[in-house]
Structure 1
Amino acid sequence: MCGIYCSIRVGSADSSDHCVDAEVFQALSEQLRSVNGARGPDAQTSYTLRLPTSHPPRDSSEGQARGSELQIEFFASELMLRGRAVVVQPHQQEGDVFCWNGEVFEGLNINSEENDGVKLFSRFRLDCTPDSVPGLLGNVEGPSVISWQPPTAKALTISIKSSSEKLYFARDPLGRRSLLIHKPSPLFPYLLLSSVSVGNHLAYQFEELRTEGIFCLDVGLIRQSSDFAKGLDDYLSIIPRRASAAKFAEISRVNTTLPLEDMPLLDPFGSRPFPKAWSDAVDELISQLDRSVMLRVRDIPVQFGQEGKARVAVLFSGGIDSTMLAFLAHRHVPRDEAIDLINVAFENPRKIQVQLGGNSDMLPKRERKKYRKAGEIMKVAGGGTASYLVPDRVTGLEEVDELRKLCPGRTWNLVEVDVPYEESLAARSTVEAIMWPSRTVMDLSLAMALYFASRGVGRIRSSSSECYKAYTSHARVLLNGLGSDELLGGYGRHRTAFTARGWEGVIDELQLELDRIPTRNLGRDDRIISSHGKETRHPFLSLSVVSFLAGLPVYLKLDPRLDVGKGDKTLLRLAARRVGLVEASARKKRAMQFGSHSARMEAGEGERRGDLVIGRLVDT
């Protein structure tokens, strides 16, 4: 994984470019290189291409014709997660330039000694045209791309061929890696592509790059144009992914097969054996998910000075998704190596007052009963400060015990990340800047939880009878359970859709979930987690797993006729029970921001809607 940044602007060829927007641009460019460098602490390099234009620069004064040039800067930082030696980006060979953000998980054979960026670059150099690009990207399972002539649909890639003078850039179909774009305007006449922003800056208007196609910028036309600032419409085209029939070109569609009207109720926790169709689906889900985890935890290089330390961590709430991923990682990580389970808890003044028997009126009515019950559970759980015995901490403590019993001999580090209220307040402006252009109340709640979890600074103990010791997780790969609710029907809205329109309503809602995955939170999460020089990987969002689950009839995945905790994500619950995770299989859905108490910390925030835009943003 890496951070990548590309800028294109028209400037003076004689180094006398001193206009105001040039000064603003240079300062901004330096900041963007810095924040992208944080994503890849192992190496950072830039490369600038200068191409003469057929028109004078915008700021040349009347009667003073000066030569102008198109300046294209590429910057990439490297987080080494493949191979045995650091490979410096941007990749360059005979005028081609290539920047890559991500790892190839399928579609290209790469051994443990090879670097996937190098291998993919060689593929691009062999064959990269507008006709071949969709196939090149569509046959590789991975994240985002920028490419001067050849693009890829899985990681960020930049490749340049002066003969064609085209810049290709794209994110993968699911948008698992962040790529932001600022389009030139009369006030700020430059193009920016960047993995991350520097917050609410006056000199750009960043937005998430759309994922539905591969973007092709005709740089040759820009060199002939007299006004690059008027926008990109005349220079930019989109190559549809459907132009390729490749395996990873597009997201699969949801199976629309309806169940029989008299389909019987099947209790996932009952003693009766399940029909073969359900049993086969369970076995295949375990197989598909196991392979996805294996591809995401194998061959991670050992960092210098971190021999024997955990290389893999799980963002761990104790819920069914994260526990299943932890169990499957156990199958593929060497048995003598620890796995970190990162569990974050926030000191939330509003919730603490309720737990200690204070004024429960600070909470909405619908939450009062729930948190009184949670307080009773916390008293029984023990082993920690009451402030941090949030719902996710309680389930995390319970589930690590189940994992220890099921997987003897494995060292499971439950990393308890406790975030004092003052520390969360101090970090807020930093988090707001990194998550930009995401900026709602819910964005901030989730981003805060991910920021402190991925930092990994906490404490551990091997059993409830031992004392805590300070611990920092240095694992660079973080497994994330995101995607299971969207694919397997884990949200309350799936039950609501069934009540309103039956099974057809559920199918439509599941298709809507798939359609909006690329535009929701994956880019934001990538920006937050990568700011610590770590990478999140989503086994449920492997395009192979997505294809398998989308292709299953809906009634094999969930049954809204059953109670919550049974009818939601029924197939995953059955899979968890089959591998021995009995307690995890019965866990109910709980959103991260509420399970960790990162949401609604201050008085008066109890009824704030999650989609409201936060009022205080960073001015850089």
Structure 2
Amino acid sequence: MCGIFFTLCRNIGEDTAVEEFIRNIAPALEQANAARGPDAQRTCTTQLERLRLSFYASELRLRGSHPVVQPHEGDGNILCWNGEIFNGMHLSATENDGVELFTALRSLSTPREVVELLGSLEGPYAFVYYQHSTRSIIYGRDPLGRRSLLIHRPTKAQPYLILASASASTNANCEFEELTTKGLFSLDLRKLEGKEDEDLTEDFGRMHEVLDRSPVEDLRYATLPPVARDMPVENLQKISSLDTELPTYLADAADGLLKHLDDSVRRRVYDIPAIADGNARLGVLFSGGIDCTVLALLADRHVPPEESIDLLNVAFENPRKLAADGNTVPKGKQERKVTTVSTQPTQKPAYMVPDRLTGLQELEELRQLCPQRVWNFVEVNVPFEQAQTARATIEAIMHPCRTVMDLSLAQALYFAARGVGQVHTHGDGSSQAYTSSAKVLLNGLGSDELLGGYGRHRTAYNAGGWEALINELQLELDRLPTRNLGRDDRIIAAHGKEARHPFLGLDVVRFVAALPVYIKTDPRLGQGLGDKLLLRILAHNLGLIQASSRVKRAMQFGSHSARMQANSAKKGNFLL
């Protein structure tokens, strides 16, 4: 994980707006991006006639045997790289992917060749590359947009180009937006040569070229695959439960999903650098839902058994919910479930949120299946006042996202990723303060979009049958790059942590997209069975019996980060 920050502007002193930017705005952007890479930071600049090119990068060391300082420089070429290469390039555990990628880039002679190289690589990334031989700035994100990259295009009032992993909140001197993933981009700076008065505002469109990812068909990781449109037979068999004998096509598909998902987890956890004090290297954003529990169980296969794994479970003191519940632990079914978790002490009612309850249940299931593993169940309890105090900071980090729902989700991720909480020793009711040292956090995002886990998928089926459901799943895949990923990356990385999404490994995406819809999900069946049917079969096969029937619950409701005040009447899509 890194923070990257690039600017293209006139030379200092030739424009008062540029002077103001260099003096006041650029330092704030450097600070925002430095938080993403606490291990090293550096700036380098280069001149092209009357233009100033500035490259800044911070580094969070997660690959290679020794620290690497960015930007990468050589033969006039400069690379700011914020990414991980998990497939497509041979890398040993001692090699740094940014170094190896820069070596490969320096052998290329055109921007189109850069597109082809990156189209052969799997992993999340955002980058800015100056190709000296063509005087080109080439930049972009991976096809899913798993790493944030914001752009400010030159305007009359702010005549500079900015590309940055994170913004410095809502500054009037920057008009940031998420960079689209529909292609990579190139700026040909030679088109400004010989001009006495470069005007980036007028010339940006003429210099700017979209580099299509799709012309070369054999680039496995250049574009997202389409969702298969196979329709089921007329009398498609219904399964009654996960305990019955499954049709061969479902059993085989579950085996295939396990193979791809297990490999995706392995590539994301096996070579995380060791931490000096021996604490956990890996954490899981853990609500006790089926997605994160499956990832935790698969991670157990690839992390040495003597190492602990942190399960980060966040709960908010929500005055509105407490008032509605009479400031007591909810009665009925949920309370009865809590009594089955015999190893945990009495919890404060404020923090006995739905995700805490399911998290404790799945902790026990993981302990039964993996008794040799130390699972640190990190209770991240967020008092109301602490959430309110942090709100301005969170809004600044998630910018340019600014809806009520953005804030609810960002709050949960912000405190969970920070990892400051308490743990309980196994079999002992006492607690102790604990801060997670894990720099890599597994996130279950993507399973609902790929496997039909949302209520809107059932709604689409009820309205228009299998074809409508297929259309909805295609829409989910198409808009994955624009919904959560950039925002979530900015929030989690603000703590010097890196989110990794095994369900969004492009090999997993390609496998699932190619499956007929009725194998992935079956809305004819009830909740907790038909939604994400294939993942439920996989979880059940792994022994995660409770998790396999867990009903979907949104993070903001499970953690109680949504609508925390009594007068919180705004809907999720309203602007803050």
Q: Same fold (TM over 0.5)?
A: yes
Q: Does 1:24 align with 2:21?
A: yes
Distance in 1 between the 2:15 and 2:449 partners?
A: 51
Residue 9 of structure 2: aligned partner: 9
Once the two structures are superposed, what CA deviation does each residue of 1:230-287 show, in whole Å capped at 9, x if it has no partner? 362111010111022200000011000000111111124232x111111100111111
Q: Does 1:540 align with 2:512?
A: no
Distance in 1 between the 2:380 and 2:311 partners?
A: 10
Q: Does 1:265 align with 2:265?
A: no
- Per mean C-alpha deviation after superposition, the further-off stretch among 16-25 and 562-571 is 16-25
Distance in 2 between the 1:497 and 1:409 partners?
A: 44
Shift of the 414–38 alpha-carbon distance from structure 1 to 2, 3 Å rule, reads same
Q: Does 1:289 align with 2:261?
A: yes
Residue 279 of structure 1: aligned partner: 251
Q: Does 1:100 align with 2:117?
A: no
Distance in 2 between the 1:255 and 1:471 partners?
A: 46
Q: Does 1:42 align with 2:5?
A: no
Residue 68 of structure 2: aligned partner: 87
Q: Where does the alignment leave 5 or more consecutive residues of structure 2 unmatched?
A: none
Residue 417 of structure 2: aligned partner: 454
Contact 2:17-2:158 at 8 Å conserved across structures: no
Contact 1:378-1:386 at 8 Å conserved across structures: no
Contact 2:327-2:350 at 8 Å conserved across structures: no
SS of residue matched to 2:481: helix
Residue 172 of structure 1: aligned partner: 142
Distance in 1 between the 2:48 and 2:58 partners?
A: 24
Distance in 1 between the 2:83 and 2:69 partners?
A: 14
Match of 1:602 among 537, 553, 565: 565
Q: Does 1:252 align with 2:225?
A: yes
Residue 302 of structure 1: aligned partner: 274
Distance in 2 between the 1:531 and 1:578 partners?
A: 37
Shift of the 604–93 alpha-carbon distance from structure 1 to 2, 3 Å rule, reads same
Residue 108 of structure 2: aligned partner: 127
Contact 2:17-2:157 at 8 Å conserved across structures: no
Contact 1:458-1:471 at 8 Å conserved across structures: yes
**Displacement after TM superposition at 1:372 (Å):** 5.7
User: Residue 295 of structure 1 aligns to which amino acid in structure 2?
Assistant: R
- Please give the TM-score of this superposition, normalised by the length of structure 2: 0.96
**Displacement after TM superposition at 1:218 (Å):** 1.1
Residue 158 of structure 2: aligned partner: 188
SS of residue matched to 1:200: coil
Contact 1:383-1:464 at 8 Å conserved across structures: no
What pairs up with 1:222-371 in 2 under 5 angstroms? 222-225=192-195, 226=197, 227-230=199-202, 232-245=204-217, 246-271=219-244, 273-303=245-275, 305-306=276-277, 308-356=278-326
Once the two structures are superposed, what CA deviation does each residue of 1:200-229 show, in whole Å capped at 9, x if it has no partner? 100010000000101011111134443212
SS of residue matched to 2:458: helix
Give RMSD over aligned pairs: 1.6
Contact 2:109-2:133 at 8 Å conserved across structures: no
Residue 391 of structure 2: aligned partner: 428
Distance in 2 between the 1:93 and 1:545 partners?
A: 36
Shift of the 379–166 alpha-carbon distance from structure 1 to 2, 3 Å rule, reads closer
Contact 2:18-2:160 at 8 Å conserved across structures: no
Once the two structures are superposed, what CA deviation does each residue of 1:342-365 show, in whole Å capped at 9, x if it has no partner? 00000000111233368xxxxxxx
SS of residue matched to 1:100: strand
Residue 497 of structure 1: aligned partner: 460
Residue 451 of structure 2: aligned partner: 488
User: Residue 240 of structure 1 aligns to which amino acid in structure 2?
Assistant: D
- Per mean C-alpha deviation after superposition, the further-off stretch among 349-358 and 240-249 is 349-358
Distance in 2 between the 1:270 and 1:115 partners?
A: 46
**Displacement after TM superposition at 1:157 (Å):** 2.7
Distance in 1 between the 2:242 and 2:334 partners?
A: 28
Residue 551 of structure 1: aligned partner: 514
Distance in 2 between the 1:282 and 1:292 partners?
A: 15
Once the two structures are superposed, what CA deviation does each residue of 1:533-579 show, in whole Å capped at 9, x if it has no partner? 00000000000000000000001111100011111000000000001
Match of 1:571 among 500, 519, 534: 534
Q: How many residue pairs get matched? A: 569
SS of residue matched to 1:212: coil
Contact 1:105-1:295 at 8 Å conserved across structures: yes
Distance in 2 between the 1:438 and 1:180 partners?
A: 11
User: Residue 85 of structure 1 aligns to which amino acid in structure 2?
Assistant: H
Contact 1:481-1:539 at 8 Å conserved across structures: yes
SS of residue matched to 2:139: strand
Match of 1:562 among 517, 525, 539: 525
Distance in 1 between the 2:107 and 2:306 partners?
A: 42
Q: Where does the alignment leave 5 or more consecutive residues of structure 1 unmatched?
A: 53-68, 144-154, 359-369, 615-620
Distance in 2 between the 1:20 and 1:407 partners?
A: 60
Distance in 1 between the 2:338 and 2:122 partners?
A: 47
Distance in 2 between the 1:402 and 1:35 partners?
A: 40
Distance in 1 between the 2:238 and 2:487 partners?
A: 39
Shift of the 216–462 alpha-carbon distance from structure 1 to 2, 3 Å rule, reads same
Shift of the 378–355 alpha-carbon distance from structure 1 to 2, 3 Å rule, reads farther
Distance in 1 between the 2:461 and 2:239 partners?
A: 17
Contact 1:268-1:573 at 8 Å conserved across structures: no
**Displacement after TM superposition at 1:20 (Å):** 4.7
**Displacement after TM superposition at 1:23 (Å):** 2.0
Distance in 2 between the 1:76 and 1:374 partners?
A: 51
Match of 1:115 among 91, 96, 102: 96
Contact 1:251-1:547 at 8 Å conserved across structures: yes
Match of 2:53 among 64, 72, 76: 72
